[in-house]
Structure 1
Amino acid sequence: MPDPSRHRLFIGGEAVDGAGETFTVVNPGTEAVVAEIAGASAAQVTAAISAARRAFDSGVWSGLPASERAQALRRLMAYLASQRERLVSLVVAEGGCPVGSGTMFAQVHAPLQHGLEVIDLFLKLPEFEENPLPFAERITPRGGAIQSLRRYEPMGVVAAISAYNAPFYINVWKVLPALIAGNCVILRPSPLTPLSALIFTEAAEAAGLPPGVLNVIAEAGAEGAVTLSTHPDVDMVAFTGSSAVGRQLIAQAAPTMKRLQLELGGKSAQIYLPDSLAQAATAAAQVCLAHAGQGCVLGTRIFVPEAEKARAMDAMASALSGAVAGDPADPKTTLGPVISAAQRDRCQSFVDLAVAAGAKVVCGGKRPDRPAKGFIFEPTILDTPDNKNPAAQEEIFGPVVSVIGYRDLDHAVEMANDTVYGLSGYVIGKDTKQALAVASRLRTGTVNINGGMFSPYASSGGWKSSGLGRERGVEGLRVYQQVQVMNIQGA
């Protein structure tokens, strides 16, 4: 079991023991207890908010030149990079991501680089921009000059509430943009995966951040998260999680008019054009073996030509036949667990609902006999008769995909858009012009044509029930700032 001294909260520049309810962190791959955490009490949550408020209002951080904030944050990232192997172990132990999985790159290695790149990107952004006034409006009736400028200022105190599926990655993509923009932050991780957030306590100390600039709290329940989304001293909430919880946060934040950045659920479509059916063979494996399907942007609805559907599903099943389920710490494991027994049961319930509504299980569809331990659900392909099936409409968040046939591309687009979600989408086709035409009709915040992009310079964000605001890229930095317009007339 990891050293308990490393499980302390960080409030007002001090590492402190939690005074609230103690909770356990369980390895979802072995069901063994990884750690016991003393969570934050209600008073400690309030203390963290107060510490952040004092630090922001004092200007000790927001008043620094961006270049000086950048120096401190590079020290923070350097400490995290020095803990690379430990971070990998934490993501395996608390999140269940297989150590040998390609997903580990996104979990740990990419965010360690992205954190540095987002600092560099921010330093390239102008502190102010000129509004595009028409020439005639730049002169007063008396002949004086008029200038109109947009200034970018930090929001203030930001509550960062992260999810369990990619904890370190998500934490980096909330903490770093908010801090480099001059805000003060309270980071509150998922109770299922708090360890990779508590490491920020050590990083903040190593970087010498002023007291209150970064605070880290963990808790057993959701009371602290509710406080963060309702307290008047919190100016913004950045949240990654389910759409249902996102709707609750919107209601909780409304009375105090908080800025919200929400990355929520998804039910993304993969559309394979008729000229690229062969590439659909790996479509299910790309979802099911990517951290057991626990990714909001994964293409869990796979659309192929109706006449080729049976052949495509056979190829998909063949690609999954060699999946190795087991302990995520074993380099041979390719299929790890979902996060909890409750989430495994959710996968089963949706398979059952799908079958009751006319779907057929092509492969998987249940908990495997082996291994005996771990919250593992078999990689599952559902022959889904239409897009109205429950498995095609609801986010399952597990290794379950629906394969749906389309009559023509208009039909494929119609079904892809027939969802409350709009987070991501995929179009695969040799005819790039045709693929682009299909992609441009999808009602979703990101569309990937013949491959995706994982870059700090390209933003992502949801439409409809998939969220508000953007992460990464210029938009993912500006969301942590507010605009002040200055209209200046010459004396």
Structure 2
Amino acid sequence: MAAAAEATAARSAPRLFIGGESVAGEGESFAVVNPGTEETVAEVAGASAGQVEQAIKAARRAYDTGSWSGLPAAQRGEALRRLMAYLASRREWLIDLSAREAGCPVGSMVMFAQVHAPLQNGLDVIDLFQKLPEFEENPLPFAERTTARGGVLQSLRRHMPVGVVAAISAYNYPFYTNLWKVLPALMAGNTVILRPSPLTPLAALIFGEAAQAAGLPAGVLNVVAEAGAEGAVTLSTHRDVDMVAFTGSTSVGKQVMVQASATMKRLQLELGGKSAQIYLPDSLAGVGGAAAQVCFAHAGQGCALGTRIFVPEAEKAAAMQAMAAAFAQVVIGDPSDPRTTLGPVISAAQRERCARYVALAVEAGARVVCGGRAPPAPARGFYFEPTILDTPDNANPAAQEEIFGPVVSVIGYRDIDHAVKMANDSVYGLSGYVYGKDVKQAVAVASRLRTGTVNVNGGAFSAYASSGGWGSSGVGRERGVEGLRVYQQIQGMNIQAG
């Protein structure tokens, strides 16, 4: 009954949040579609161009008056704890929404990353920021600490907010990516305009409710949803916006960089990936789960997933057989059904992208081991079978391009040097994985990978550990100290006494 009531509430005209007020959108309306059933979850009246401008002005005014940045960090933290408490009170609604809006199965372990982890990580962000110094001393040599007149020179670095931040988030983990932009930016003293993906706006609009419940000053947090991309372009070009934090594809990230360049905005970009999983010869007993951990992770819709799987050439056939066996009990279906293990991709266009890249891979010499098509059932929904490609080399399109679906390429390597060379043969550098019983050897291999994060026999999902892309995978980092400092700028301060 509660879920039904929440679903009805979600359908009742979601509202934008501008200048401290919940407002109806005045722009083009658009439907939010459940990718698992193709049913309409909600109709959203998007922001007009004028409302995007209003949101920017509200954020600018709130920052310039110091109503937020002028508060001590402890007071900002208290307000943001109230915001997090409101979001935590909506936990069950957020879980249901992640299934209906983003298509993540409710019974999936990935729901931890969709909802549970962000709710804890938000509190951790507040704690971590309050441990960081506002001032740090520059390490001047002793000889430079005294002036010609016998005075003392102190040289400091002061960490200050950037200003107005435009946060433009992705559809795959919408609540997670929204929170990982909003919380660090606000905690650092900035004001924020949050613009979500048109495919998953509801997980952002709840932040407006939370800001009201927490009593944030007007204009500190604004949320504008839209059907197209006009508002996003405005946010990345407007002179009153100081920084753009964007999560999405590399192609769009490049556009954001160009758009932001005229006004020299600070950028934080988390973009695409084509990460490698390298299984060393002593680790092949665990290779059976290599494909499943990608495909069952929100239908492969994760930029950091290890979609290229490298195994010794002599063991490739056996490894692929073991991976395919892990799909034997797959349950493809409605993400709201607890029995479902593989949900949909986000849209019909994304399903077509998966099919197109499988076809391109086969044309270039790959073989479909399993999957490779839309399943015969369910009849409705944007489903694609978990797919393993026997890929002849790393030059194959399926090994070079980000597909963003439940599709993996398995590639054989001759020796460790060959595996590392292929893993690094990519324009991307977001994440990487090395598995080996000999941890010393596995770490040595991991240290050779050109990627922003590398995981040896496992990973960390923590507010205290940062991640970020190299090359075409982005600029800047999220989480950890670096993910807070990216929302700050440094002012040098030199003080002479005596």
Normalising by structure 1, report the TM-score: 0.99
Q: Which residue of 2 aligns with 1:380?
A: 387
Residues of 2 paired with 1:133 and 1:421: CA distance? 38
Q: Which residue of 2 aligns with 1:190?
A: 197
Q: Which residue of 2 aligns with 1:115?
A: 122
Matched, 1:268 2:288: no
Is the CA contact (8 Å cut-off) linking 2:13 and 2:45 kept in structure 1? no
Whichever residue aligns with residue 312 of structure 1, its letter is: A
Report SS of the residue matched to 2:428: coil
Give per-residue Cα distances to partners, 1:280-326, cap 9 Å, x unaligned: 11000000000000000000000000000000000000011111000
| Runs of 4+ off more than 3 Å | none
Q: Which residue of 2 aligns with 1:287?
A: 294
Is the CA contact (8 Å cut-off) linking 2:13 and 2:44 kept in structure 1? no
- Of 83, 87, 106, the residue aligned with 1:99 is 106
> How many residue pairs align between the two structures?
491
Q: Which residue of 2 aligns with 1:31?
A: 38
Give per-residue Cα distances to partners, 1:230-284, cap 9 Å, x unaligned: 0000000000000000000000000000000000000000000000011111000
- Of 221, 225, 235, the residue aligned with 2:228 is 221
Whichever residue aligns with residue 2 of structure 1, its letter is: T
Report SS of the residue matched to 1:426: strand
Give per-residue Cα distances to partners, 1:320-359, cap 9 Å, x unaligned: 1111000000000000000000000000000000000000
Is the CA contact (8 Å cut-off) linking 2:393 and 2:411 kept in structure 1? yes
Report SS of the residue matched to 1:339: coil
Query: What is the correspondence of 1:20-419 to structure 2 with a 5 Å cutoff?
Result: 20-419=27-426
Residues of 2 paired with 1:372 and 1:398: CA distance? 19
Residues of 2 paired with 1:65 and 1:5: CA distance? 38
Whichever residue aligns with residue 365 of structure 2, its letter is: G
> How many Å apart are 1:5 and its aligned residue?
4.7
Give per-residue Cα distances to partners, 1:139-182, cap 9 Å, x unaligned: 11221111100000000000000000000000110000000000
Residues of 2 paired with 1:399 and 1:2: CA distance? 31
Q: Which residue of 1 aligns with 2:441?
A: 434
Residues of 1 paired with 2:320 and 2:150: CA distance? 73
Give per-residue Cα distances to partners, 1:417-450, cap 9 Å, x unaligned: 0000000000000000100110000000000000
Is the CA contact (8 Å cut-off) linking 1:2 and 1:34 kept in structure 2? no
Is the CA contact (8 Å cut-off) linking 1:303 and 1:406 kept in structure 2? yes
Give per-residue Cα distances to partners, 1:172-226, cap 9 Å, x unaligned: 1000000000000000000000001101111000000000000000000000000
Whichever residue aligns with residue 216 of structure 2, its letter is: L
Residues of 2 paired with 1:132 and 1:105: CA distance? 42
Residues of 1 paired with 2:98 and 2:443: CA distance? 36
Report SS of the residue matched to 2:408: strand
Residues of 2 paired with 1:402 and 1:322: CA distance? 21
Residues of 2 paired with 1:271 and 1:134: CA distance? 45
Question: Where in structure 2 are there 5+ consecutive unaligned residues?
Answer: 1-6
Residues of 2 paired with 1:31 and 1:128: CA distance? 53
Report SS of the residue matched to 2:345: coil
Residues of 2 paired with 1:2 and 1:16: CA distance? 19
RMSD: 0.6
Percentage of matched positions with identical amino acids: 78
Matched, 1:2 2:8: yes
- Of 463, 466, 484, the residue aligned with 1:477 is 484
Question: Where in structure 1 are there 5+ consecutive unaligned residues?
Answer: none
Residues of 1 paired with 2:330 and 2:419: CA distance? 29
Residues of 2 paired with 1:490 and 1:329: CA distance? 66
Residues of 2 paired with 1:234 and 1:142: CA distance? 44
Is the CA contact (8 Å cut-off) linking 1:6 and 1:199 kept in structure 2? no
Is the CA contact (8 Å cut-off) linking 1:462 and 1:470 kept in structure 2? yes
Residues of 2 paired with 1:442 and 1:242: CA distance? 22
Give per-residue Cα distances to partners, 1:34-72, cap 9 Å, x unaligned: 100000000000000000000000000000000000000
Whichever residue aligns with residue 47 of structure 1, its letter is: Q
Give per-residue Cα distances to partners, 1:373-394, cap 9 Å, x unaligned: 1100000000000000000000
Is the CA contact (8 Å cut-off) linking 2:59 and 2:191 kept in structure 1? yes
Q: 1:414 to 1:404 in 2, by over 3 A?
A: same
Residues of 2 paired with 1:340 and 1:113: CA distance? 30
Residues of 1 paired with 2:344 and 2:183: CA distance? 29
Is the CA contact (8 Å cut-off) linking 1:72 and 1:209 kept in structure 2? yes
Residues of 1 paired with 2:287 and 2:53: CA distance? 51
> How many Å apart are 1:2 and its aligned residue?
3.3
Residues of 2 paired with 1:464 and 1:248: CA distance? 15
Is the CA contact (8 Å cut-off) linking 1:354 and 1:390 kept in structure 2? yes
Residues of 2 paired with 1:215 and 1:366: CA distance? 41
Report SS of the residue matched to 1:320: coil
Whichever residue aligns with residue 328 of structure 1, its letter is: P
Is the CA contact (8 Å cut-off) linking 2:15 and 2:22 kept in structure 1? yes
Whichever residue aligns with residue 451 of structure 1, its letter is: G
- Of 430, 436, 441, the residue aligned with 1:423 is 430
Whichever residue aligns with residue 435 of structure 1, its letter is: A
Normalising by structure 2, report the TM-score: 0.98
Residues of 2 paired with 1:284 and 1:2: CA distance? 37
Residues of 1 paired with 2:350 and 2:209: CA distance? 31
